[in-house]
Amino acid sequence: MLMNHFWFLDHAWLIPLIPAISYAVILLFGKRYGERAAWIGLASIGSAWVLALGTVVQWISHVNDSEGAEARGVVQSIGGMVRNIRLAAESKLHVEPIIHSTTWFQNNGFKLNVGIQIDGLAVMMLFVVTTISLLVHFYSTEYLKGDRRFNHYYAALSLFSASMLFLVVASSTLQLLAGWELVGLCSFMLIGHWWEEKPNSNAALKAFLTTRTGDIGLLTGVIMTFFVVQKYATMAGGKGTGSFDIMKVNEAAIGLGEHGGSKSLLFWCAAALLLAIMGKSGQFPLHTWLPDAMAGPTPVSALIHAATMVVAGVYLGARVYPIFYQGFHIAGGTINPMAAIGGATVIIGAGLAFVQNDIKKVLAYSTISQLGYMVMALGVGAWTAAIFHLFTHAFFKANLFLGAGSVSHSGANHSFDMKHDMGGLRKYMPKTFITFMIGTAALIGIPFTAGFFSKDEILAVAGENNFTFFKYLGLVGAVMTACYMTRCVYLTFFGEYRGGHADAHGAGHDVGHDVGHDTHAYVSDDHATPIHDDHAAHAAHDLHDAHDDHGHHGPHESNFPILAPLFFLSFMSIASGYLLSPMLKIEKFALWVEPHFGDDKHFNVFEPGVFKAIDPILAVAAGVVGMLLAYAFYWKKAYGENITERNGALRAGKNFLVNKYYLDVLYTDIIVGGVKGPIAQAAYWVNQNVIDNVLRYTGKGAAGAAQFVYKYIDQKGVDGVYNGSASGAGALGGLARKLQTGRVQLYAFTVLFGLGAIALLLVIFN
Amino acid sequence: MLLNQFLLLSAFLFGTGIYGVITRKHTVLVLASVELMLVAVNINMVAFGATLNNAVGQVFALFVLTIAAAEVGVGLAIVLLIYRNLRSANPDDASVLKG
Amino acid sequence: MVAQNVAFWIFAAFMAAGAIRVVTTDNIVHAALWLVLVLAGGAAQFILLGQEFVAWVQVIVYIGAVIVLFLFGIMLTRAPMEAEEKLNNNLRWPGLAAALLFAGTLAWAFLDQWGSDKIKLTKPVRTKEIGDLVFRGYLVPFEVVGVLLLAALIGAVVMARKD
């Protein structure tokens, strides 16, 4: 039988393959088809979506069948093949993943397998990635119409989807690594899509390099997973061969943790992988690339933030969860690095979202904050809740991003600046407004939207697992989320429309732009006025021409290719929540996605939380408080206009946030400092500026101390340390630079002499 | 005849080729030095073939010859390009990659 | 056998001298002509080994075509035809070191491995055998090399033409 009950699951490797082929086709033959090349990408991702849907249906029926089999106590034989159905100790059902792998190469008993591992988690991700990607492909046909590198854009989009899907179905950690790097490369390509503008290419570089920092952790971690398996195999008395297979890694991590063997190996492995997650999923303090990644086209931002790039980190965390669970001893219920970083990111990301004037940056920081929730959930042992939040967040965040794109695309001048070019858009684009409101509601966690269920789940399980602190941290984050999203909606859709018509707007718009909006000021020659727009200098000419057809430049509702994804995503922003809710006694999602980690009788991370009425009440209260605060502060201006400007403390706080906690300054100065003086000079400088000041300032009371900490420790002390280490690195770089003489023959000498030396060694020792 | 006679001759030619590649100031001469190295390889191939008393050595030498011809063609095209752009065939002048 | 040995050493001496002149002479055209001597010596060695087909291919392809290409290259880059200032750069000692290291290592390995192996020539290899080998055992590499030559041809034309 060609199509048995496992056809889609067994052939899941087709799903990444199809977009990969489409990438090659568009790149090679795209020029010939012009903008019709988009349809190649659309068709490929469409068929991938159909296949993914097939896997979803078959997986669900597989799980349900297994459940039935469990009740009858039989092992089923389906489609001529016996599938293993394991009954673990407390008769908890575990559906084993479907693994098809082949040996890539083998060496001395070690086999490197590559293949697919399909389980509930992978199936869920396949569905999310293909769905969001399909919508983004469709949306982009309109949004990027007339772009000069339209084909490149679609090729990169295809490759992006392909690499993410490849990462999702990976059956070994090495494959994960490959997919991970491909995803990073594609995001680099897409963020820098309009690379002619320096800020855009800088943002792309920043994203690439920052995530590379985390990738060091991934590489180290992946290598360590090999030794985790080896260690476990040796402990069991076997030959002790390592492996990169995810199943074996997980089993070994559980085994090592249970039997108390080699805690430090597990800990460092988990720490290295956590660094990878921090880089990719924008966790503090490696989050700085994410807001800059807004330089890319808006649909790409939606794809990066909802389905691909950033969730890759969370996915990694969920995939090899036993390593974290045992390495960080999550069951202990104390503070662990993963929960701490997640929790810090929730607050820090949300704090930054307050002061952004760029609607996309508000959403970017909100993504950081929400990713913080997911990592925190993983850190507090709420595996299912984390994955569920990933699932719902994908839909409502894509909804919000595409909504922001719609607002800007149809606005007067393609700006994302809420303060200067938006306001009152509710009247001009009611459909976008409704979808955006639904997305916002889901993000805030208004009852009976998707975000309500998923966020609630995280908080409930955190409480159950005795992580009370993180539960309340999450609640504070919820207050802040409600507050900044209300501000964002108010600035965008309510009040009076502030952006003039394109031909009328000009003077005054090029001045007074806040920090964080420094990337959008170019001169468009056909309007001869500065315009503030990401794609102003490229697609804008065509787009403006297109808008001229409407006879006006004012804001107007977007057309079908933009609205259709918005409607679908709004629907999902509500509906996706109804898959898991202890309150409504729905536990389907947990049943479907829970993976099989080996003999995991001590794992209770998949159990949905127990419903307690107080949890949703607290969460809703948090949301209401946040919204009321924002309403009073921004909407009604209860404290008068510009209170932040008048009150010193508030102004300092705002400046601190506007400057993004000075992290960027810190990072930039590392690089800039690299060419500055030697270490001694830096140390002397620290001595002069910090230690002397410590003596001078200690006596000056609390206010002075606070100011000192802020001004000198943070800005100069920390900088000084970084400068010192950076100049060390700089000196090393200077040495290396001397080798790069540009003399080809000197290079030839180096290569040949080195080769000769190696050959000599081989001869001597042979 | 000793096999080593031929092998040592080829080792000498190879070393000379390396010296030429590193020291010659004209790109065409650098290519000529590469040819010296290829000839050395060919002598090895043919000598081994003769030792084993079959034609495989010759066949390999033929492949090397073919590829050497292709290499010279492309190499000289590159030399021409460099000369056209820099007005010089000295490899030292093509130092745009200087760090 | 003695005659063959004598012939070998005579050819080898010419080749060594030619090779040294290729990498040291200050006259660029002379260098190309010295290269001819080395290549011809190589062909002679092939004949000594009873491998005549490859010897003639060497004469035709190398001496006939490649050297002509070299001379064209020299003329197209307007190199002076007579001796000029030094044609060697200041990397003489590093170059010598690398060359000695390489040649020395190779020589050591050869002497170590094939100390006194002798070449016993029974009969010259006939061209028919080569044809059989190329078109049976090595057909795929042969075709690939054909494609490579075509690619090199097109590449050279594309690079060298004036736009």
Give the three-class secondary structure for A112: strand
The mean of the pLDDT values for chain A is: 72
Predicted confidence (pLDDT) at residue A552 exceeds the cutoff of 50: no
Cβ atoms of A120 and A592 within 8 Å: the answer is yes
Task: Provide the pLDDT for residue C99.
Answer: 93
Evaluate whether A118 touches A592 at the Cβ level (below 8 Å).
no
pLDDT in tens, A127-162: 888 888 888 888 888 777 777 777 888 888 888 888
Residue A512 has pLDDT above 60, yes or no: no
The residue among A515, A47, A604 whose CA lies nearest residue A321 is: A604
Work out the average pLDDT over C15-24: 93
Cβ neighbors of A523 (< 8 A, separation 6 or more) are: A529, A530, A531
* Rounded-to-integer distance, Cα A760 and Cα A753, Å: 10
Task: Decide which of A419 and A19 is more confident.
Answer: A19
Range from A420-424, B53-57, C29-33 carrying the lowest mean pLDDT: A420-424
Lookup: tokens for A511: 């001045």
Residue positions counted in chain A: 766
Q: What is the pLDDT of residue C160?
A: 78
Q: Which of A658-662, A679-683, A753-757, C111-115 has the lowest mean pLDDT?
A: A679-683
CB pairs under 8 A between A and C: 31
Q: What is the mean pLDDT of residues A571-585?
A: 77
- C102 within 8 A of A756, measured Cβ to Cβ: yes
Containing A114, the helix (H) or strand (E) segment is: strand A110-118
What span, in angstroms and rounded, lies between the C-alpha atoms of A60 and A67? 10
Q: Tokens representing C114?
A: 């094939």
Q: How far is it, in rounded angstroms, from Cα A411 to Cα A420?
A: 12
- Exposure string of A548-582, with b = 16+ CB inside 10 Å and e = fewer, is eeeeebbbeebeebbbebbebbbebbbebbebbbb
Set of chain A residues whose Cβ sits within 8 Å of the Cβ of B21:
745, 748, 752
Residue A640's SS3 state is coil
Question: What is the least distance, in Å, from the CA of A758 to any CA of chain C?
Answer: 10
Residue A448 pLDDT greater than 70, yes or no? yes
Contact yes or no for A7/A85 (Cβ under 8 A): no
Considering the domain boundaries, does residue B94 fall inside one?
no
Q: Can you give the pLDDT at residue B63?
A: 93
Mean pLDDT of A553-563: 70
The pLDDT of residue A718: 57
DSSP string, A330-363: GGG-S--HHHHHHHHHHHHHHHHHTT--BHHHHH
Report the topology of domain C2-119.
Answer: Four Helix Bundle (Hemerythrin (Met), subunit A) (1.20.120)
Q: Is residue B96 domain-resident?
A: no
The whole-number pLDDT of residue A415 equals 65
Q: Are B35 and C66 in contact (CB under 8 A)?
A: yes
**What local confidence, expressed as pLDDT, does residue C19 receive?**
94
Q: Closest approach of chain C CAs to the CA of B97, in angstroms?
A: 19
Name the β-bridge partners of A82. Answer: A77
Q: Is the pLDDT of residue A113 over 90?
A: no
Structure confidence by residue, pLDDT tens digits, A647-667: 555 566 666 666 665 555 555
Instruction: Calculate mean pLDDT across residues A52-71.
Output: 75
pLDDT digits (tens, 9 = 90+) for A514-538: 333 333 333 333 333 333 444 444 4
Strand partners, A513: none
Q: Per-residue pLDDT averaged across A677-704, rounded?
A: 52
Whether chain B has a CB inside 8 Å of the CB on A585: the answer is no
- Does residue A323 surpass a pLDDT of 50? yes
Q: What's the mean per-residue pLDDT of chain C?
A: 87
Cβ contact B21:C96 at 8 Å: no
Q: For the segment A737-748, what is each residue's pLDDT rounded down to a tens digit? A: 766 777 888 888
**Phi and psi torsions of C144, nearest 5°:** -60, -40
Answer yes or no: is pLDDT of A713 > 60: no
C51-68 per-position pLDDT tens digit: 889 999 999 988 888 899
Q: Say what the pLDDT of residue C38 is.
A: 94
Alpha helices in A105-172 (DSSP H): 120-143, 150-169
For residue B20, the chain A residue with the least C-alpha distance is A745
- Nearest CA to CA, how far is B61 from chain C (Å)? 7
At B39 the pLDDT is: 93
Peptide bond into A337 cis (omega under 30): no
- pLDDT digits over C80-121, tens only? 666 667 778 888 888 999 999 999 999 999 998 888 888 887
Question: Cβ B23–A741 below 8 Å, yes or no?
Answer: no
Q: With 90 as the cut, is the pLDDT of residue C35 above it?
A: yes
Residue carrying the six token digits 């190879």 = B14
Measure in Å the smallest separation between the Cα of C101 and chain A Cα atoms: 6
Q: What local confidence, expressed as pLDDT, does residue B26 receive? A: 87
Helices (H), A549-678: 560-575, 588-593, 614-630, 643-646, 648-658, 663-673
C-interface mutation test, from B22, B54, B83, most C Cβ less than 10 A away: B22
Is pLDDT at A47 greater than 50 in this prediction? yes
Rounded average pLDDT over A277-292: 80
Confidence of residue B31 (pLDDT cuts 50, 70, 90): very high
Output the furthest CA–CA distance in chain A (Å, rounded).
Answer: 85
pLDDT tier at B9, thresholds 50, 70, 90? very high
Give contacts of B99 with chain A, Cβ < 8 Å. Answer: 736-742
Calculate what percentage of chain A has a pLDDT beyond 70.
68
Position A383 pLDDT exceeds 90: no
Placement of tokens 């202990």 in the chain: A332
Taking only the tens place, the pLDDT of each residue in C69-79 is: 888 888 888 76
- Please check whether residue A97 is in contact with residue A119, taking contact to mean a CB–CB distance below 8 angstroms: yes
pLDDT tens sequence across A168-222: 888 888 888 888 888 888 888 888 777 777 777 777 877 787 788 788 888 888 8
Q: Is B79 on the interface with C (CB under 8 A)?
A: yes
- Taking alpha carbons only, the member of A660, A680, A674, A673 closest to residue A716 is A673
Please state, in angstroms and rounded to a whole number, the distance separating the CA atoms of residues A176 and C58: 51
Residue of C nearest to B50 (CA): C49
Q: Which amino acid is at A44?
A: S
For A742, nearest residue in chain B (alpha carbons):
B98
Range A46-50, long-range pairs (CB < 8 A, 24+ positions): A46/A134, A47/A18, A48/A14, A48/A15, A48/A16, A48/A18, A48/A19, A48/A130, A48/A133, A48/A161, A48/A165, A49/A130, A49/A131, A49/A133, A49/A134
Q: What's the pLDDT score for residue A537?
A: 40
Contact partners for chain C, using 3 or more CB pairs closer than 8 A, are A, B
Place of tokens 């800005």: A715
Least confident of A356-360, A702-706, C41-45: A702-706
Q: Are A125 and A602 in contact (CB under 8 A)?
A: no
Instruction: Quote the pLDDT of residue C15.
Output: 94
Residue A763 has pLDDT above 50, yes or no: yes
The yes-or-no verdict on residue C39 having pLDDT over 90 is yes
Distance CA C26, CA C22 (A): 9
Cα atoms found within 13 Å of the Cα of residue C30, Cβ hemisphere only? 12
* CB burial readout A394-406, b (16+ within 10 A) else e: bbbbbbbbbbbbb
Q: How confident is the model at residue A522, as a pLDDT?
A: 37
Specify the CATH number for the domain of residue B32: 1.10.287.3510
- Predicted local distance difference test score (pLDDT) of residue C42: 93
| Mean pLDDT, residues A422-427 taken together | 70
Tell me if residue A118 falls in helix, strand or coil.
Answer: strand
Among A81-95, A258-272, A694-708, the minimum mean pLDDT is found in A81-95
CB contact under 8 A, A743 and B95: yes
Tokens of C7: 């012939």
List CB contacts (< 8 A) between A759 and chain C. Answer: 102, 105-106, 109
- Residue A63's alpha-carbon distances to A44, A73, A85, A116, A126, in angstroms, are 28, 14, 10, 18, 17
Give me the residue spans of the domains in chain C.
2-119, 126-163
Confidence of residue B15 (pLDDT cuts 50, 70, 90): very high
Q: Give yes or no for a contact between A286 and A210, defined as CB atoms under 8 angstroms apart.
A: yes
**C-alpha distance from residue A11 to each of A6, A95, A98, A117, A219 (Å):** 8, 18, 10, 11, 29
B interface toward A at CB cutoff 8 Å? 18, 21-23, 30, 91-92, 94-99
User: Where are the alpha helices (H) located in A447-507, listed in sequence order?
Assistant: 450-464, 468-493
Side chain identity, residue A522:
Y
Residue B86 touches chain C, beta carbons under 8 Å: no
Contact (CB, 8 A) for A176 and A170: yes
Nearest CA-CA partner of A372 in A336, A348, A337, A396: A348
Q: Which range among A139-153, A249-263, A592-606, C102-116 shows the weakest confidence by mean pLDDT?
A: A592-606
Chain C 42-101, CB below 8 Å of chain B: which residues?
A: 42, 45-46, 48-51, 53-54, 57-58, 61-62, 65-66, 69-70, 72-74, 76-79, 86-89, 91-92, 94-96, 98-100
Residue B70 lies in a domain: yes
Domain total for chain B? 1
Letter for the amino acid at A386? A
| End-to-end CA gap in chain C | 59
Containing structural domain, residue B26: 3-89
Position A719 confidence tier, pLDDT thresholds 50, 70, 90: low
Q: Is C155 helix (H, G, I), strand (E, B) or coil?
A: helix
Q: How far apart are CA A571 and CA A569, in angstroms?
A: 5
In the Cβ-directed half-sphere of A378, how many Cα atoms lie within 13 Å? 31
Contact residues, chain C, for A751 at CB < 8 Å: none
Compare A428 and C130 and report the one with higher pLDDT: C130
What confidence category does residue A549 fall into, taking pLDDT thresholds of 50, 70 and 90? Answer: very low
Q: What is the DSSP string of A642-696?
A: THHHH-HHHHHHHHHHHTGGGHHHHHHHHHHHTTS--HHHHHHHHIIIIIHHHHH
Which residues lie below 8 Å from residue A519, measured CB to CB, with a gap of 6+? A197, A199, A200, A203, A295, A534
Q: What is the sign, positive or negative, of the torsion defined by CA atoms of A364, A370, A339, A280?
A: negative
CA distance C130 to chain A (A): 33
In whole angstroms, how large is the CA radius of gyration of chain B? 17
Q: Which of C9, C90, C125 to mutate to test the interface with B (most CBs of B within 10 A)?
A: C125
Residue A97 has a pLDDT of: 76
Q: Which of A31-40, A67-76, A671-680, C148-157 has the lowest mean pLDDT?
A: A671-680
In this prediction, residues A757-763 reach a mean pLDDT of 90
User: Does the distance separating the beta carbons of C153 and B2 come in below 8 Å?
Assistant: no
Q: How close are the terminal C-alpha atoms of chain A, in Å?
A: 58
pLDDT of residue B60: 92
